[in-house]
């Protein structure tokens, strides 16, 4: 889907910035409640290139979800600089697709109508959006369930709908906050394979926050490991695996196993969670 990159207006501005899609510099985020101040993130700096797939792993409460929300402009940072497609992030960003841990679907809408919410909110061309929705429904294997309501779907299918919705407007950037966290292991593997394929086919820049080391390594070109609160970037691994990855072959490759073990040790050493 080469048209993905041409539809977004920021592409021209991004070119002279060496195609850096997300640029985070010295980011700090502190929440103040009545009782105490919590530092969620300190000194986070990260750049994500266009078309890259970056996974972020870390123990619970390390601020990785907060980091994603800051990039999306949903949470303001306390200090530091965040740029998306070359523009400073000051409010909610429109040039992104966001997938949440829960599917966050509208209960009263069927699959297709839920996906098309994106188009309605953005005033997209109706016919184009409908065609694109059909395409995505087919791509994610939701054919035959177009009018099913969310409560009639399994967790995996709900997440597919959420994924379709996040991709409908062909966003240059896809931010995913533990989208498969609530799924069973088998469904999760299938979704990983699908996400890998979708990323390959659309060339979208993806940032995936996850608890699963296997998921992070299988999907990511780079894996960012974070420390427990206050969240910092502990290490960034380059994943030395082929761009097109077969699930079974990748899982049993020595490169995968070594990297996964290394990350596991690192996470085990930096906290009790894993």
The residues binding other proteins (CB under 8 A) are 60, 69, 72-74, 92-94, 96-98, 100-102, 104, 106-108, 117-118, 120-122, 141, 144-145, 147-158, 178, 181-182, 187, 190, 193-194, 211
State which residue, 201 or 240, has the beta carbon closest to other proteins.
201
Min separation Cβ 255 and other proteins, Å: 26
Cα–Cα nearest to 146, from 128, 133, 127, 129? 133
Q: Is the dihedral of CA 190, 191, 192, 198 positive or negative?
A: positive
Query: CB of 204: closest distance to other proteins in angstroms?
Result: 15
Nearer to other proteins (CB atom), residue 128 or residue 255: 128
Nearer to other proteins, 133 or 239 (CB): 133
Nearer to other proteins, 44 or 99 (CB): 99
Closer to other proteins by Cβ: residue 17 or 190: 190
Give min distance, CB of 80 to other proteins, in A.
21
Q: Least distance in Å: CB of 201 to other proteins?
A: 15
Long-range contacts from 113-122, C-beta under 8 angstroms, 24+ separation: 114/150, 114/161, 114/165, 115/161, 115/164, 115/165, 115/168, 116/168, 117/165, 118/165, 118/166, 118/168, 118/169, 119/168, 119/169, 122/94, 122/169
Q: Least separation, in Å, of the C-beta of 165 and other proteins?
A: 8
Whole-number minimum distance, CB 22 to other proteins, in Å? 15
Give the DSSP per-residue string, 58-124: --TTSSHHHHHHHHHTSS--SEEEEEETTEE--S--SSEEEE-SS----TTS-HHHHHHHHHHHHT-
Residue 215 or 237 with smaller CB distance to other proteins? 215
- Measure the CA–CA gap between 57 and 193, rounded to whole angstroms: 18
Greatest CA span in the chain, whole angstroms?
53
């Amino acid at each position: 889907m080469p048209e993905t990159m041409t539809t977004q207006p920021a592409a021209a501005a991004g070119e002279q910035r060496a195609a850096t899609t997300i640029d985070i510099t010295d980011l700090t985020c502190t929440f103040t409640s009545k009782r105490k101040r919590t530092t969620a993130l300190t000194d986070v700096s990260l750049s994500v290139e266009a078309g890259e797939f970056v996974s972020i792993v870390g123990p619970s409460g390390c601020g990785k979800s907060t980091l994603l929300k800051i990039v999306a402009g949903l949470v303001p940072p306390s200090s530091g600089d965040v740029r998306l497609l070359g523009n400073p992030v000051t409010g909610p960003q429109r040039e992104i697709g966001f997938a949440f841990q829960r599917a966050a679907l509208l209960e009263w809408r069927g699959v297709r109508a839920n996906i098309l919410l994106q188009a309605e909110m953005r005033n997209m061309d109706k016919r184009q959006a409908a065609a694109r929705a059909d395409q995505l429904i087919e791509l994610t294997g939701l054919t035959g369930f177009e009018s099913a309501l969310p409560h009639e779907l399994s967790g995996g299918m709900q997440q597919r709908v959420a994924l379709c919705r996040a991709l409908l407007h062909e966003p240059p950037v896809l931010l995913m906050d533990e989208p498969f966290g609530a799924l069973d292991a088998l469904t999760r593997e299938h979704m990983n394979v699908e996400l890998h394929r979708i990323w390959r086919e659309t060339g979208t820049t993806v940032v995936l926050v996850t608890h699963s080391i296997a998921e992070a390594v299988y999907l990511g070109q780079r894996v960012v490991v974070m420390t427990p609160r206050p969240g910092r970037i502990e290490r960034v691994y380059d994943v030395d695996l082929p761009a097109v990855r077969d699930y079974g072959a990748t899982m049993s490759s020595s490169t995968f196993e070594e990297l996964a073990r290394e990350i596991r040790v690192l996470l085990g050493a930096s906290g009790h969670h894993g």
